[in-house]
Amino acid sequence: MRKVLFIGGSINQTSQMHQIARELPEFQPYFTPYYADKGLEKFLTKMGLTRTTVLGEKLVNRCRTYLQDHRLNIDFGGESHDYDLVFTGSDLVIQENIRHLPIVLVQEGMTDPENWLYHLYKSMPFLPRWTAGTATNGLSDAYRYFCVASEGYRDLFISKGVQPEKIRVTGIPNFDNCQRYYDNDFPHRDFVLVCTSDARETFKFENRRRFIDRAVEIAAGRQLIFKLHPNENFARSTAEINRWAPGALVYTSGSAEEMIANCQVLITAYSTTVYVGLALGKEVYSDIDLEDLKRLTPLQNGNAARQIAEVGRELLNPVHAQAC
């Protein structure tokens, strides 16, 4: 039986990989947290300087726990087997031991803005892609195909330099059927929800006081609920909310998507969760232009994992793909 390696990372990335693997029952799947097996990234990880990234201990352990809880085959770093195919949720690092293999890159969610670091990388492409964050997703060109969320994202990635023939518009798991989030047992209804980001933890600027003040103003006396990003400093963020938005509820865990389904209003700064709100027709506030967001909103086809799996299947069974 041929073997496929699925490289996770955040819980979103890892659960996406899990869903894709379910659609490939004829192959033997193995999973790994995100890893660095060479160069600067490996050195920085050993020095503990990647703590707030998917290479850091916190997110690696969270990924490992997910894999263990779901009783999935774990091969940390993809070292124990010879693989026929790789699926990954990020190409900011292309691990040395998968470079010779066919790779399917899967868009995780919203990409970082094209700030000065992005333009610095574009002018000096010898820099590590991760210096510009996820704004450089897709720019490695080390994959056979790049599965993206929507036609809008296809256009965006092409404008950045991704080869059009490598892009497949499949939708992305976790964001391809937002209607399902209405089926939930979250106890609150008709509130104003704020989904925060980990901008500060990933060395980006955020005026959190101004963000909270804006949320209080929009809520206008309605119940305010904050769902913190999993990578945030929970103690700091909770203290800030208690100080500047007294009476607001704070959740550090739980499904943000289900909370969005139950809310009246969604407020974000820069978060993929905004697409759930748009797909469900919620009143949405964001730091990003809403018309741009609507254009980028992931396809609601309900079968993104199956379509992405088929892309991988085509790579391993080209004759079958042609026949289909």
Give the architecture (CATH level 2) of 3-176+299-323. Answer: 3-Layer(aba) Sandwich (3.40)
Name which residue leads in pLDDT, 42 or 137.
137
Give whichever of 33-42, 112-121, 304-313 has the largest mean pLDDT.
304-313
The pLDDT of residue 319 is: 55
State residue 139 phi and psi, 5-degree precision.
-90, 0
Looking at the predicted structure, is the pLDDT value of residue 324 above 70? no
- Can you tell me the distance from the alpha carbon of 247 to that of 215, in angstroms, rounded to the nearest whole number? 13
Q: Which residues pair with 7 in a beta bridge?
A: 32, 88
Helix (H, G, I), strand (E, B) or coil at 200: helix
The pLDDT of residue 5 is: 99
pLDDT digits (tens, 9 = 90+) for 66-76: 999 999 999 99
Domains 3-176+299-323 and 178-296 are alike in CATH topology: yes
Max CA distance (Å), the chain:
63
Strands (E), 117-247: 145-148, 167-169, 192-195, 224-227
User: What is the average pLDDT across 4-14?
Assistant: 97
Question: Would you tell me the crossing angle of helices 234-244 and 208-219 to the nearest 10 degrees?
Answer: 50
Task: Give the residue extent of every domain in the chain.
Answer: 3-176+299-323, 178-296
The pLDDT of residue 317 is: 86
* CB 5 within 8 Å of CB 83: yes
For the question of whether the overall pTM of this predicted structure is more than 0.85, the answer is yes
Instruction: Give the tokens for residue 238.
Output: 């909770």
Q: Is 154 left (phi over 0), alpha (psi -120 to 50) or beta?
A: alpha
pLDDT digits (tens, 9 = 90+) for 207-220: 999 999 999 999 99
pLDDT band at 44 (very low <50, low <70, confident <90, very high): confident
The fraction of the chain above a pLDDT of 90, given in percent, is 83
The CATH number of the domain covering residues in 178-296: 3.40.50.2000
- Can you tell me the distance from the alpha carbon of 315 to that of 244, in angstroms, rounded to the nearest whole number? 53
* CB 32 within 8 Å of CB 66: no
pLDDT digits (tens, 9 = 90+) for 255-268: 999 999 999 999 99
Range of weakest confidence among 97-106, 184-193, 199-208: 199-208
The pLDDT of residue 161 is: 97
* Of 221, 282, 293, 285, residue with least CA distance to 257: 282
Helix (H, G, I), strand (E, B) or coil at 282: coil
Instruction: Give the tokens for residue 142.
Output: 């080390």
Looking at the predicted structure, is the pLDDT value of residue 323 above 70? no
The pLDDT of residue 320 is: 53
